Amino acid sequence: MIRIREGGFLITKIHHLVGRIFTQILRDLSIDVKPGQGRILLALWRKDGISANELAKETQLSKPAVTELVDRLKESGIVERNRSKKDRRQVIIKLTAEAQDMNQKYELASCRMTEIVYDGLSSRERDQFDDLLRRVLQNLIEYEEQTK
């Protein structure tokens, strides 16, 4: 009998639950940002003023998904788009002052989410869990690159 693995199904369920819980934590801190938009913000907080292509690479999102998320963040006044001074064809995504101000609150929300996710796991289990997820992610990245 073939044993059916549930990894992908469980990851999907976890993804949805984390999204709902994290959205509520953000709301409680008066941050009106969806979790998907947070991926863009995190990348820009690490390195501000990068192209949409760089954002797609950093976040593992498709270029159309990055464009849609950046559009929403721009409408909210959280990011701005400017033409590159080096290459006028390239558009650079940059955080606004409002986004810079929300960074600390967002980090608090992220810490709270981490506490919830890792609750009851030992330090060793947390490390193992992270390592396994990195390996799964790498498998998926490699597969996607091979099938392009």
Q: Is 85 helix (H, G, I), strand (E, B) or coil?
A: coil
Q: Could you read off the pLDDT of 14-23 as tens digits, one per residue?
A: 999 999 999 9
- pLDDT > 90? residue 78: yes
What is the C-alpha to C-alpha distance for residues 79 and 41, in angstroms, rounded to an integer? 9
Q: Could you read off the pLDDT of 82-140 as tens digits, one per residue?
A: 888 888 888 899 999 988 889 999 999 999 999 999 999 999 999 999 999 999 999 99
Residue 122: the pLDDT is 98
Residue 36: the pLDDT is 79
What is the C-alpha to C-alpha distance for residues 11 and 117, in angstroms, rounded to an integer? 13
- pLDDT > 90? residue 64: yes
Q: Name the residue ranges covered by the structural domains of the chain.
A: 36-104
Residue 1: the pLDDT is 79
What is the C-alpha to C-alpha distance for residues 5 and 69, in angstroms, rounded to an integer? 32
Tokens at 143, concatenated: 């597969």
The fraction of the chain above a pLDDT of 90, given in percent, is: 74
- Report DSSP letters for 106-147, one per residue: HHHHHHHHHHHHHTT--HHHHHHHHHHHHHHHHHHHHHHHHT
Q: Could you read off the pLDDT of 19-63 as tens digits, one per residue?
A: 999 999 999 999 888 877 989 999 999 999 999 999 999 998 999
Name which of 25, 58, 13, 54 is nearest 39 in CA terms. 58
Query: Topology of 36-104 in CATH?
Result: Arc Repressor Mutant, subunit A (1.10.10)
Q: Is 99 helix (H, G, I), strand (E, B) or coil?
A: helix
Tokens at 60, concatenated: 């593992």
Tokens at 104, concatenated: 């600390």
